Structure formats: C-alpha cells, structure tokens
C-alpha cells in the first residue's frame, strides 16, 4: 500500500514539475534554466518542512515517506538539472554552468535547512 502511494505521489510530483516548467517557459526567455532551479529549491524547502514536522511534530513516518520520497522526489529532479548544466557548458557558458550546478545546490541546502528551522521554531 505504501509503495503504491509513494508511486502515485511521485507521478503527481512529476506532473506538477512538468506544468510549472511549462509555465516558466512561457515567461522566461533567458538561457539560464530558472524553472528547474525554482522547482528544485521549492521542493527541497517542502521536504525540509516535512522533515521538521517528522522531527518536532511527530508527523507519522508513512506521511514523510509518501509526501517526501514520493511527491518531493518526483517533483524535484537531478537529471534535468545536470543536463542543463552540461548544455550551458557545451554552449561555452561556463560561468552559468557552474552557477547552475553549485548555485542550485547551495540554494536547495538553504531551503531544506530553512524548512526544518521554521518547524523547529513553531513547534
């Protein structure tokens, strides 16, 4: 049952990422892949909130698994982010490639820590 719910929420997360990415695509013309960065940072922030709720608010572990591993895992993506880094580098945009690779990581780390901290402060 848990496996099925994780899979369903993963599918929901991937569909959400697809729609968010398309919405960004219509409004952002620059070659820097801001949509994927926004998706990965917001998904990491949400996973931070869920982890905080599991640590400090006794959120049942099944919820963390389904919403965290399922939804947040399906919503965020490492493979697309990496392909976008490689494409920036192939286009000679090494600064943007490095910013995309390491900047997104730093922002995602900040988001996950902030998510956990917010729940800790409220709990």
Partner 1 sequence: MSPRPHLRPGLVALVAAGGAVGTSARYGLALALPHDGGWPVATFVANLFGAFLLGALLEALLRRGAESVGGRRARLGLGTGVLGGFTTFSSLALETDRLVAGGAAVTGVTYALATVVGGVLTCLAGVALAGARHRRRGGGGAR
Chain contacts with partner 1 (rule: CB under 8 A): 3, 6-15, 17-19, 21-23, 25-26, 40, 43-44, 46-48, 51, 68-70, 72-83, 85-86, 89, 101-102, 104-105, 108-109, 111-113, 116
Q: Could you tell me the smallest distance in angstroms from the CB atom of residue 24 to partner 1? A: 10
Chain-centroid distance of CA 74 in Å reads 9
Q: Least distance in Å: CB of 119 to partner 1?
A: 13
DSSP 21-84: HHHHHTT--SSS-HHHHHHHHHHHHHHHHHHHHHHHS---HHHIIIIIIIIIHHHS-SHHHHHH
With respect to partner 1, which residue has the nearer C-beta, 25 or 122? 25
Q: Would you say 82 is a known binding-site residue? A: no
Does 76 count as an annotated binding residue?
Answer: yes
- Return the closest-CA partner of residue 77 out of 28, 44, 109: 44
- Residue 60 CB, shortest distance to partner 1, in Å, is 17
DSSP-derived secondary structure letter, 93:
-
Binding residues for Na(+): 73, 76
Binding residues: 73, 76
């Amino acid at each position: 049952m848990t496996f099925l719910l994780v899979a369903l929420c993963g599918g929901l997360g991937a569909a959400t990422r697809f729609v968010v990415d398309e919405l960004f695509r219509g409004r952002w013309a620059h070659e820097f892949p801001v949509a994927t960065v926004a998706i990965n940072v917001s998904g990491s922030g949400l996973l931070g909130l869920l982890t905080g709720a599991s640590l400090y608010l006794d959120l049942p572990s099944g919820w963390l698994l389904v919403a965290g591993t399922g939804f947040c895992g399906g919503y965020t993506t490492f493979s697309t982010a990496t392909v976008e880094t490689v494409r920036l580098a192939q286009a000679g945009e090494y600064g943007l490639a490095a910013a995309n690779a390491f900047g997104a990581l730093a922002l995602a780390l900040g988001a996950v820590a902030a998510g956990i901290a917010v729940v800790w402060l409220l709990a």
